[in-house]
Each structure stands twice: as C-alpha cells, then as structure tokens.
Amino acid sequence: HPLPLLYYYLAFVKQGNRPSKLAIQALERALQQALSDRSLMLHYQPQVDAQGRVVGAEALLRWQPQQGPLVLPAGFIDVAEDSGLIAPIGRWVLETACAQLRAWGAQAHTRHLQLSVNVSARQFRQPDFEPQVRQMLEHAGVPAGQLKIELTESVVLGDVADTKHKMQALRAHGVDFSLDDFGTGYASLTYLKQLPFTQIKIDRSFVTDIGRDESDEAICATIISLGRSLGLEVVAEGVETPVQRDFLCARHRCGLMQGYLFGAAMPPEAFDRMLLAQAA
C-alpha cells in the first residue's frame, strides 16, 4: 500500500525543506482532522531518581494517522506553530495531561508521580495561557504541584518581562517550570537568574558522548554543579548507557535522569504496568 501523501510532506518538512503552500495546507488539514478524530495521543517517558525509582514522566506528543506509521512531533510541531494550530493542540495536550494526573492520583502506585508537559513559544504567548492552565487543573481536580511546564529558550526569547509575569502567576498557583534543552541556546544563564525556574534539563547532545568526549563530560558536570549552587533540580536527558548513568549520578550526583536506559516514551497502559512492577 502506498503511504498517504501526508508522509511525503512530513518527510519533506523534517529534512528542513520549505514545503509548498499546498503541502502546508494539506498538513494543516490533516492535523485539524487529527484533533477531532482522536488520532493525537500522549506517550509517557519515565524520569528516575539516582536509585532508579520512577518519580515522574514527560508527556510526549504522538500522532497516529488512520493509516501509516506513528508520527513524532519533530515532523509537525513547526507546522502547528506556524499555522496557529498549536493553540488547540497545546490545549488538548494540557487537558490530557491533567486527566492523566487525575487517573494517577486514584491509584496507590502512581499517586506520587509528577508530570512534565512541553509548551511551545506561541502557545505560551497566548494572552489567556495562565488562566487556561489554572482552569484545567481545577477542572481535573489535581494539585498544581504535580504539573511541570517545560519551556525552551525560544519561548523566553520573545519578551522576558511577559514570560516572567506569566511564570510568576503560575508559580504562585503551584505550577513548576523546567528549562528544556539547557546549554544549547545563547543566554541561558541570564534567563536562569531572572526567571523562576525550579529545574533544568541537560540537553541530550551533551550526555551522548559521556565516556568519549572530555569537554562534554565537563559541560555535564558544570551544569550539575551550577544547578546545585542555584538550588535547581537537574535532569539529564537521553541517558542510554550505564556509563552515562554512573558518570551523571554516582560521580556527579545528578538528581534525575531520563532516557532509553530507563524506558522510551510509551502509551499510558504500558507506563502503568511499569509502575505496578516497580511497586511489587
């Protein structure tokens, strides 16, 4: 069976090409359709502490069109941002995350879990973003302290004063913030000083070469100690090997890790089974 045209567009966009207007419109229509026919879903990737216990998860968006393979966010988040569709998609992500937290709250083996959600620039810029999040939490009846919002520097870049204001309002309500892909941007330290983040995530690109590249090791060690002196939690992303884990956690006392070594993003049922096995 030939793949639907959609996949050619997605591959084209992913290669960094500028797709034609027609291709973008087709993608937008397909995404709009995905929103209404429930072919978007969230997968959950475990976050573990130094003892290997699962303490939370990151929600990662997936798209399963009617026919064809699963689509990862790299293929469509940009189109969603450009078209403005990120607003309804991002809202759906947050609602689904809150519903998941509610479900976790009802079971002894998942009650303690924190959930991190990625929020993109345009979504965060919406004037009503802060009340939106508050209402969703209230509606789902989950404690705000269990929700963490992951922002990247691109979110902050636009308007630092506005970002600070919004973050403070949500922090006052109990929602925490994590700075994603830390170390890959330009002015991270400035932002860290000005904005009320509680966590930083070491970008996967620095973790990958632990054991092979001394400067990447130095960067990881420096970020961990920076986090410690600023009182911020540090998560290492993309941990795939025991060598990386031991360097980060045993040697440099990084508090939290996430990566294929502990589990890839998985559907909620599989995540639940993992937690049940851990509790047993």
**Which spans of this chain sit near ligand C2E (rule: CB under 6 A)?**
45, 60-61, 72-74, 77, 90, 93, 118-120, 150, 180-181, 204, 237-240, 258-260, 265
CB 175 within 8 A of CB 148: yes
Is the Cβ–Cβ distance between 217 and 237 less than 8 Å?
no
From the list ligand C2E, Mg ion, none, pick the one residue 78 interacts with, judged by a Cβ distance below 5 to 8 Å according to partner type: none
Q: Is 205 helix (H, G, I), strand (E, B) or coil?
A: helix
The single-letter code of the amino acid at 45 is: Q
Closest approach, Cβ 72 to Mg ion, in A, equals: 13
Residue environment code for 222-234, b if the CB has 16+ CB neighbours within 10 A, otherwise e: ebbebbeeeebbb
Is residue 217 within the footprint of Mg ion (CB under 5 A)?
A: no
Give CB contacts under 8 A, 24+ apart, made by 130-134. Answer: 130/166, 130/169, 130/170, 132/91, 132/94, 133/94, 133/170, 133/175, 134/170, 134/173
Residue 217 binds which entry of ligand C2E, Mg ion, none, CB below 5-8 Å type-dependent: none
Q: By C-beta, is 118 or 146 nearer to ligand C2E?
A: 118
Structure tokens given for 39: 């072919």
DSSP helix/strand/coil, 46: strand
150 binds Mg ion (CB under 5 A): yes
73 binds, among ligand C2E, Mg ion, none (CB under 5 to 8 A by kind): ligand C2E
The nearest distance, CB 108 to ligand C2E, in angstroms, is 27
CB of 132 to ligand C2E, least distance (A): 14
180 part of the interface to Mg ion, by CB under 5 A: yes
Closer to Mg ion by Cβ: residue 155 or 275: 155
Least Cβ distance, residue 130 to ligand C2E (angstroms): 17
Q: How far does Cα 197 stand from its chain's mean position? A: 15
Please identify which residue in 181, 235, 259, 271 interacts with Mg ion, judged by CB under 5 A: 181
